[in-house]
Chain A
């Protein structure tokens, strides 16, 4: 659509601007403020310059949490995106099955995140949980409380349970926008199932897939509540992701300086990735 140039439009954006400034800019300035100062308790602060940033960037703890988080995000994406596409492709297109599928699939998305954690904490317990009990009965040595590997598996399965539906629903939205004539033409051209996917469905899903990858990457990169409830970051530090580490540092140990520095590095990474995504997306729109 051809848009007209009108700077008065700023007045319409103003309420949003004020609100978001209040809830984003001011807190962020506080963070910046802390990140360059040191304190010995009370309200006394000293200028610390880039000290905290240097400390953070040389801290094994930070890089370990970062590494864990990146591995986690990579695993999550490599499971959820293909699985989500696969399920969306097999969803019904019409009839009573559609609302039933949509409603049931969307359900995990609307459960408070700590309740998601609670559900899996209970479900995986070997004494009272269906999953843990069954695995034990089948002879598996499964215990997410003591075993880092089992803890990881639990957190990943939980995230797949929690968020795959988002990918499914996004892909499904892309799929239902394809007119019937495309499928009919493909039949007439004798296209195989794979060719239909590769040349009709995948191109139409490109845009929603971009959104899905971004949302899933960002949310898994910021994950806090669910693993915190299930494992508390343990056993040891094995499931201590960036956010968990950050909250431990800021609220638990009250190390404001390092926590603020970490926040800023964290936020910059997120910002960078958002920018890459936004650029790719706008270019994609222009190309269209």
Chain B
């Protein structure tokens, strides 16, 4: 396993990139720690698969440097980088048995047959396919095939990292959960460096220790699931993570107070930025509905089981609030913002608030 450093990586698919728009990956400068489990999260087209393919060597970045454990691998081919990757659609070698599929990467590297056998048997146990060893890989179900793809990475105990490119896309919903928890277990037991690309926030938040959120060819935030939730660094993270996403509204800031139309909101601290182009973000979870505070008009209440989502209008803007399953909307509804959940944004990026 290895630590992976991305040094100012930029990538453009076209030959002569001129402006920022031509770059699929604008600039990524980041390190993945040895043994960490990371998720790359973002909407389609944000550059997350590009970044993954640059790490695996299927693509060579137009600019920048890639290090595995401090060793420059920028110019090395996929074969030399010694990584494993699981693709969106299961890739298996149809004509081989399950056993031979797993042995394939080892045999390609000239490993002695006795060691191959030992490693393959170990791996078959790890991915729960021991009883299928002699079967042709062709007739298996999608999740079994995807396990084989994973197994081909796991047999090589010296791989630098295991990369996943939306691996659960074609898996049945109930098997998704099973596979995800097996992955987590494998990570805990063997400490692989894992990078997992997905556009599904649940997948990302449950799998990873650290989530890397990408947007428009850039990394906008890296953090634990809790950090992403409490302190989104960019309004996009606020929208994208959480259901419903964060409420964002333009405010005028003056010291420790923010003005939203007629209303004045007390801030937990004085922000480093002042003026008009500031936005206030607050998650629906921190919007309290009650008899005091700012008056709102309730438009709709969606009951989604564990809680209710209240869609209301505050100073002419849509706002969402979360209400407990047993709570009711008051007759004359007002909202207050919990200061712990207030974030301020200048040009979409979060600004710190002093005490």
With A179-B89, A200-B93 known to touch, is A189 a contact of B56 (CB < 8 Å)? no
Number of interface residues of A (CB under 8 A): 15
Contacts of A199 in B (CB 8 A): 93, 95-96, 104
Would you call the interface of chain B mostly helix, strand, loop, or mixed? loop
The stretch among A53-61, A190-198, A270-278 that forms the contact with chain B is A190-198
Asked if residues A185 and B87 are in contact (CB atoms below 8 Å), the reply is yes
Report A163 CB to chain B, min CB distance, Å.
Answer: 28
Report A21 CB to chain B, min CB distance, Å.
Answer: 41
Query: Could you mark each residue 94-116 of chain B with 1 if its beta carbon is under 8 Å from any beta carbon of chain A, else 0?
Result: 11100000001100110000000
Q: What interface size band does chain B fall in? A: 20 to 34
Q: Judge whether B11 is part of the interface by a CB distance below 8 angstroms.
A: no
| Assembly CA distance A200 to B93 (angstroms) | 7
Contacts of A189 in B (CB 8 A): 104-105, 108, 152
Asked if residues B88 and A187 are in contact (CB atoms below 8 Å), the reply is no
Asked if residues B89 and A191 are in contact (CB atoms below 8 Å), the reply is no
Report A76 CB to chain B, min CB distance, Å.
Answer: 28
Report A128 CB to chain B, min CB distance, Å.
Answer: 49
Q: Judge whether B79 is part of the interface by a CB distance below 8 angstroms.
A: yes
Closest to A288 in B: B138
Report A204 CB to chain B, min CB distance, Å.
Answer: 8
* Selected contact of B85 from candidates A179, A182, A188, A195, CB within 8 Å: A188
Report A67 CB to chain B, min CB distance, Å.
Answer: 36
Closest to B80 in A: A190
With A187-B77, A187-B78, A189-B152 known to touch, is A181 a contact of B91 (CB < 8 Å)? yes
Q: Which 6 A-B pairs have the closest CB atoms?
A: A185-B91, A189-B105, A187-B78, A190-B108, A181-B87, A199-B93
B interface residues (Cβ-Cβ under 8 A, vs A) = 56-58, 77-79, 83-85, 87-89, 91, 93-96, 104-105, 108-109, 149, 152-153
> Given A181-B87, A185-B87, 9 other A-B contacts at CB below 8 A?
A181-B89, A181-B91, A184-B58, A185-B152, A188-B79, A188-B105, A199-B95, A203-B94, A203-B95
A interface residues (Cβ-Cβ under 8 A, vs B) = 179, 181-182, 184-185, 187-192, 195, 199-200, 203
**Chain A to chain B contacts (Cβ below 8 Å), 14 pairs:** A179-B91, A181-B87, A184-B56, A184-B58, A184-B85, A184-B91, A185-B85, A187-B78, A188-B84, A188-B105, A188-B152, A190-B105, A195-B104, A203-B94
